[in-house]
Amino acid sequence: MAETALIKKLLIANRGEIAVRVIRAARELGGIQTVAVYSDADREALHVRYADEAYGIGQPAPRESYLNIEKLLEVAQRSGADAVHPGYGFLSERAEFAEAVLDAGLIWIGPPPDAIRQMGDKLAARAIMQAAGVPVVPGTEPGLDDAALLRAAPSIGFPLMVKAAAGGGGKGMRVVREPAELEAAIAAARREAESAFGDGTLYLEKLIEGAHHIEFQILADTHGNTIHLGERECSIQRRHQKLFEEAPSPFMDPELRERMGAAAVAAARAVGYVNAGTIEFLVDAEKNYYFLEMNTRLQVEHPVTELVTGVDLVKEQIRIARGRRMGPVDGVTIKGHAVECRINAEDPYNNFLPSVGTVTVHIAPTGPGVRLDSGIYAGYEVTPYYDPMLAKLIAWGETRGEALLRVRRALNEYKIMGLKTNLPFHQKLVDMTRFLTGKYDTSFLERYMTMRPEEEEEGALAEVAAIVATLVEHQARQRALGFANGDTAQKAPSPWKWAARRW
């Protein structure tokens, strides 16, 4: 690829808020045209409305649409796209997709296929990390059959983790505390991995209890520059799914940050990494750290790093893919603190059961230090086919305390109606003293937090009271302005309704 390869039109092989995020970055880079793809379920999605062009790619099931390499490349050819950004999830960590894009003569906005392949192979990744001097969690090699996994478990010791070799996001993972639980856990993890990733390969790994999940953001360009942009704390998890992230971590100290950052850079260089990626670690209470995995893509939680560094990671991805030097060649300075809440269509009072339906009201929070990355709007239909994440609410402050106060305020302003969301979960989390003092690890939710059904009723009553109070105040203001009942001024069409019709 030429050093300054030109991108005139970019296809985003994804959906939802990350597709919107990439569209915005492309436009800010000087008017790069964007091409969206959509399944039948996403015909009215926000990313479809924002893109310059949009093409249908089939039925709602991911295998028929967003996981269909042939259809995606066909759209790239029809639209005249020069490049492909995979977002995260779906095909973003599939080496065969990256190769297909490159073989089609397009620019791949991601790492080299060989790096994806090596880091996607857990056995190869462990060997590479050990050779690079990065500690790894004790475990088995991937690819063993059920009988071999059962035989290997005693040598690792309990508790342990059954983990899928492909993909991520907590899918295909099970905690096993007793030998009697192992066989059923292997069967369940294999089924889930096959469904989510089309690959049921498993391995076992020692469970590091009371650990912190710390990850380092990596950037590397084709000119030999590899840096890290600090760490993110990702320990607030439910069933290995991240719900809240922050940067920097309240658990880290400067000496540990320096050692882990150097290890992350060494890990990236060991595989000839280019573009944005993340090295994930588990850190125990004594601050011993272990390589967990490398995510060879953009992370969901990348905004917190952007806010504390001032680096637009998506723009840097595109610049690097063009063959240009990345902007922060000499490293970055961390300024302030940022936190992120993943807003999901889930019922926190009913075991986080996924929720579907039409968003009837969407009032986004604004104000100093608040950012919302969203893929929804009033009238948007949430379907059961995809990940339940609707949006990401991010807040920045000069200090961790200020960032938490801002996100607390923003959570109270945020209104999504028409379906259940986990907004009440986040509101409760940021009110917990133990969390506010930074004393948490990956076991925090299991040990300290429950969502009681009666809290939902209390919250609903408070919401009704607030609405009634607002209406009473509005009526009083109307009377003070001379608008009595029956005035023609009151009957004027609402500009909000006009805006909704225009959508």
Q: Yes or no: say if 96 and 103 are a contact pair by the CB < 8 Å rule.
A: no
Q: Yes or no: say if 247 and 308 are a contact pair by the CB < 8 Å rule.
A: yes
Chain centroid to Cα 401, Å, comes to 23
CA-to-CA distance for 201 and 211, rounded, in angstroms? Answer: 25
CA-to-CA distance for 408 and 281, rounded, in angstroms? Answer: 28
CA-based nearest residue to 279, from 115, 141, 393? 115
At 367 the three-state DSSP class reads coil
Chain centroid to Cα 229, Å, comes to 17
CA-to-CA distance for 138 and 141, rounded, in angstroms? Answer: 10
Q: Yes or no: say if 192 and 164 are a contact pair by the CB < 8 Å rule.
A: yes
What six digits make up the tokens of 331? 């490293």
For CA atoms 367, 217, 257, 425, give the dihedral sign: positive
Which long-range contacts link 172-176 to residues 24+ away (Cβ below 8 Å)? Answer: 172/196, 172/197, 172/200, 172/202, 173/240, 175/207
Q: Yes or no: say if 330 and 219 are a contact pair by the CB < 8 Å rule.
A: no
Burial 129-154 (b: 16+ CB within 10 A, else e): beebebebbebbbbebeeeebeebbe
What six digits make up the tokens of 336? 């302030």
CA-to-CA distance for 251 and 212, rounded, in angstroms? Answer: 8
CA-to-CA distance for 103 and 108, rounded, in angstroms? Answer: 10
CA-to-CA distance for 261 and 407, rounded, in angstroms? Answer: 28
Give the H/E segment covering residue 129: helix 122-131
Positions marked active-site: 297
